[in-house]
Structure 1
Amino acid sequence: MKHTYIIGEIGQNHNGSVDIAKLIIELVARPVKESVFNLELEPMNAIKMTKRDLSEELTDSQMKRLYDSPNSFGKTYGEHRAFLELTNEDHYEVYKYAKSLNLDFVETLCSKGCLSLLKLFEPDILKVASRDLTNLPLLNSIAETKIPVILSTGMAGKRELDDALDIITKYHSNISILHCVSQYPTFPDNLNLNTILCLKKNYSQYKIGFSDHTIGISAPIVAIGMGAEIIEKHVTIDRFMKGTDQLGSLGPDGVNRMIRDIRIAERWMGKEELYIDECVKSAKIKLERSIASKYEMKAGHVIKEEDLHLLSPGDGYKWNQLLDIVGKTIIKDIPANEIIYPEYIA
């Protein structure tokens, strides 16, 4: 059965609080159940955090600009970003909590200075944000660690992706590529999920997945049907909490429904074969049609095609077995509109 690696992206939805980050982790780690078939389903596999070095983020003028927004945590954009930024030690605490709940930990490092985080712990995967596929010095530093890497293509075309791969593959090839559109939320006409097929065809040596910024949970389900092996989605404990990413994230119910539907969809995929499954055999017997009498026929009657039609159940002769019946002599009476079984004919 197919297995999809599901990442719950916390991003900045922790609002500068380790405790909120832990609550989100508890949310994605909780058991998921499908009630109709009583299935216990695997929860998310990983959570993702983002580490920034504010000295390597924006120009001084951008950091000092007034940030007058309902989602602002400071008077200037720099103050806002500083409020949201957790320390390396905070990230380590969140990492340990995720591991205690059997979740992998993915970390987006936004600049070379952020690699100081690796002195405290080693994430299972390092993520390169879409905007940094052209940040070749950062890519080189990340690749040198030889930690598995996920690349997101939200702002990248083929050239940018190929340049990034050229840098990383000098050190290792444990790379995954996520189709992504850096529009929040992504307008339906812009999603272009067929890019997944393009990536699978042209970058088949890597795992291909989908980082989703659409509203709802349908796009990830379609993506895994197209072969995506990784799904990433923003998650939060409250979509109406303060913050620019909250409304476009999945809340508790959405997280549960997305995981449920992905895990069920994995079971849907099955194998590339046309066959009659054991589970439909009873329905096949009940509903399929068999050759039956149009009217009462007495013993000694020689069966003609015009004596016959098709009725359920499907446990008798099929129409492709007509020659096994036509021309045969009936050895005991057959009532009208009944299946003709072998014991009725010579």
Structure 2
Amino acid sequence: MRIGDRLIGPDHPPLVIAEIGINHGGDLDVAREMVTLAAKAGAECVKHQTHFVDDEMTDEAKSIFPPNADVSIWEVMARCALSAQDEVALKAHAESLGLIYLSTPFSRKAADFLESIGVLAYKIGSGEADHLPLIRHIARFGKPVILSTGMQTIASIGASVDILRASGVPFALLECTNLYPSPPEIVSLRGITDLRAAFPDAIIGFSDHSIGPEMALAGVALGACIVERHYTDSRYRKGPDIACSMDPAELRHLIDRSREIHTALHNPKQRTAPEEDVYRFARGSIVADRDLEAGTVLAEADIWARRPGNGEIPAYEFDALIGRRLNRAVTRNTQLKWSDLD
């Protein structure tokens, strides 16, 4: 799939998405600074969350308290949502720094707004992973869709995938665990390979809510083409997602290490040119293990393999010498040659 000029897939370095989300606490200046620091850390893509609370929730949400907050989910989003005008400014700032700007719409109104300001693709969060009418609505825009699959099974995500397939839009599925932060006891790295097996036509990635970069990097080693993590300018900031957020230094680490892992992941199993000098001394050559007379019929006890490997007969030919007759006398540790054998 392609987002703007960025190709995404197994043949390309993983796209690391720095999710600002609501970590700015509703402050545009803070959000801008987060984007600036992400760009300086080498980010290609930042992601926001677009919340129009009146279209996203009903009044019942005012009595629902998420496990990572001490106020209702309504109050969290009301406090942290940027205005439409502020989001336009944030998008412009990100794009002025050469970044891809993505956002997750949490309502139909939010999706329509993002389409009106020209986002290049859509991220659908795990909470909306089975919101079929919203997925259908977004798919009609004809742009790439990245869908997190937290709290879903392979079976339950099928209907959403069917909508994306039928629409013809390129799409990615991200393995995800929706606890903030997620301990390793419930993170499913296997979910990456399970999704790939079940949906071979999808780009597969990993949306990580654990602490530290280890799970995300392991996801890259399993072939994740997209890695998404929450991001903040400082972990000393307050907010419901700060505990599982990376700072600019960790973002830089994740970008660099994920590219290295991607490179190594595609190297075939073979002896490389830089290893040749090591190969010459590290392997063994067949030698006499004791003084041997001409005419000796070689037995296992007569020969061995010792470094360096610059002899004519390598260690892996050991069995081929058993039962062969020496045509000259040799002393212990003499490197044998094929011409020494009848």
Match of 2:57, SS state, is: coil
Q: CA deviation at 1:289?
A: 0.7
Give the structure-1-normalised TM-score. 0.82
Aligned partner of 1:24: which letter?
M
Pair 166,261 (structure 1): closer, same or farther in 2 beyond 3 Å: same
Question: Structure 1: which 4+ aligned runs deviate by more than 4 Å?
Answer: 69-72, 75-80, 333-336, 341-346
In structure 1, which of residues 155, 177, 180 is the aligned counterpart of residue 176 of structure 2? 180
Aligned residue number for residue 24 of structure 1: 34
Q: What code does the residue aligned with 1:111 have?
A: S
Q: Which range moves more in the overlay, 131-140 or 45-54?
A: 131-140
Superposed displacement of residue 70, structure 1: 11
Tell me, in whole angstroms, the C-alpha distance in 2 between the residues paired with 1:44 and 1:338: 59
Cα deviation code 1:86-110 (max 9, x no counterpart): 1223222222222233322211011
Counterpart AA for 1:128: I
Moved more, 120-129 or 146-155: 120-129
Structure-1 separation of matches of 2:205 and 2:64: 37
Instruction: Name 2:272's counterpart in structure 1.
Output: 277
| Cα distance, 1:325 vs structure 2 | 11
Task: Give the structure 2 partner of residue 253 of structure 1.
Answer: 249
Q: Secondary structure at the match of 1:210?
A: strand
Q: Greater CA deviation, 211-220 or 21-30?
A: 21-30
1:1-346 → structure 2 map (5 Å cutoff): 2-30=12-40, 43-60=42-59, 62-63=61-62, 78=74, 80-118=76-114, 120-271=116-267, 273-295=268-290, 301-302=294-295, 304-305=297-298, 306-316=301-311, 317-319=313-315, 320=317, 322-323=320-321, 326-330=324-328, 336-340=332-336
Q: Distance in 2 between matches of 1:153 and 1:70?
A: 20
Q: CA deviation at 1:14?
A: 1.6
What secondary structure sits across from 1:247 in the alignment? Answer: helix
- Distance in structure 1 (CA, Å) of the matches to 2:139 and 2:252: 34
Tell me the C-alpha RMSD between the 2 structures. 3.1
Contact 2:126 2:149 in 1 (8 A): yes
- Aligned-pair distance for 1:180? 0.8
- Listed one character per residue, the Cα deviations across residues 182-220 of structure 1 (whole Å, up to 9, x for unaligned) are 111113221122122221111111111111111111111
Helix, strand or coil at the partner of 2:243: coil
- Percent identical across equivalent pairs? 25
Instruction: Say whether the 8 Å CA contact 1:15–1:84 is kept in structure 2.
Output: yes
Contact 2:232 2:246 (8 Å CA) reproduced? yes
Unaligned runs of 5+ in 1: 32-42
Paired amino acid for 2:18: G
In 2, the alpha carbon distance for the partners of 1:76 and 1:308 equals: 78
SS of structure 2 residue aligned to 1:7: strand
Q: CA deviation at 1:23?
A: 2.5
Using a 3 Å threshold, how does the CA distance of structure 1 residues 116 and 325 change in structure 2: closer, same or farther?
Answer: same
Q: Point out the more displaced range, 221-230 or 54-63.
A: 54-63
How far residue 295 of structure 1 moved from its aligned partner, in angstroms, is 4.9
